[in-house]
Amino acid sequence: MSFSPLIQQLIDALRILPGVGRKSAQRMALHLLERDRSGGLRLAQALSTAMEGVGYCRQCRTLSENELCQQCADPARDAGLLCIVQSPMDVFAVEQTGYRGRYFVLKGQLSPLDGLGPEAIGIPELLERIDNGAFGEVILATNPTVEGEATAYYIAQLLAPKGLVISRIAHGVPLGGELDLVDGGTLAHALAGRQPVRF
């Protein structure tokens, strides 16, 4: 070791960030120390404020420093439409599409091998949310993975008796790619889900 203890401590602490290895952490630490100390202090402040101040929205369970998140607090949003996702990042992704209904954020997906059952991912809170709401349609927007599909299927079965429209985001070929680069499973889904061309 040849960095001074405070610098080494900073380098070690930076490595908790996802995607940051030893080299990047060194570069980040020296960059801040040599060129942007006020930025480094702002980052320190933003980190401690967020770590201590951000909790979960009591209605949709996304990350928020208020009891109700911005989406839940907005009376202009469609109160009859609920989109179920499995992480706060997915709320952001769905927002980018222009969706303006409501959300419920699961804590991940069902994964029996990791001991994650319905309680662990927040299914009871989801059912409570649905019973307290007035939703006409529930959109299952869990990940298009084996566990995400299983989670969507599990929820669909639970909700079946409630007389709601239950839908799942479509699987298919992503826009803008080349067909021969699309994996076989995706292409099979896209074929099975083919739509009549409208003129």
Q: Which long-range contacts (CB under 8 A, 24 or more apart) does 88-94 make?
A: 88/62, 88/63, 90/141, 91/60, 91/62, 94/141
For residue 22, the minimal CB distance to its own copies (Å) is 11
* Binding of residue 59 to its own copies (CB under 8 A): no
Choose the contact partner of 47 out of its own copies, Zn ion, none; CB within 5 to 8 A by kind.
its own copies
Binding mask 158-197 for its own copies (x = CB under 8 A): ----------------------------------------
Q: How far apart are CA 84 and CA 171, in angstroms?
A: 16
Q: How far apart are CA 78 and CA 100, in angstroms?
A: 6
* Binding of residue 66 to its own copies (CB under 8 A): yes
CB atoms within 10 A of CB 116: 16
For residue 34, the minimal CB distance to its own copies (Å) is 7
Greatest Cα-to-Cα distance within the chain, rounded to the nearest angstrom: 70
Residues 13-52 close enough to bind its own copies by CB under 8 A: 13-14, 16-19, 24, 26-34, 36-37, 39-52
* Binding of residue 69 to Zn ion (CB under 5 A): yes
Contact 131, 153 (CB under 8 A): no
56: enclosing H helix or E strand: strand 55-56
Q: Which is nearer to its own copies, 65 or 119 (CB)?
A: 65
* Binding of residue 2 to its own copies (CB under 8 A): yes
Amino acid letter, residue 107: K
Instruction: Write out the residues near its own copies by the rule CB under 8 A.
Output: 2-7, 9-10, 12-14, 16-19, 24, 26-34, 36-37, 39-54, 63-66, 69-71, 87-89, 91-92, 95
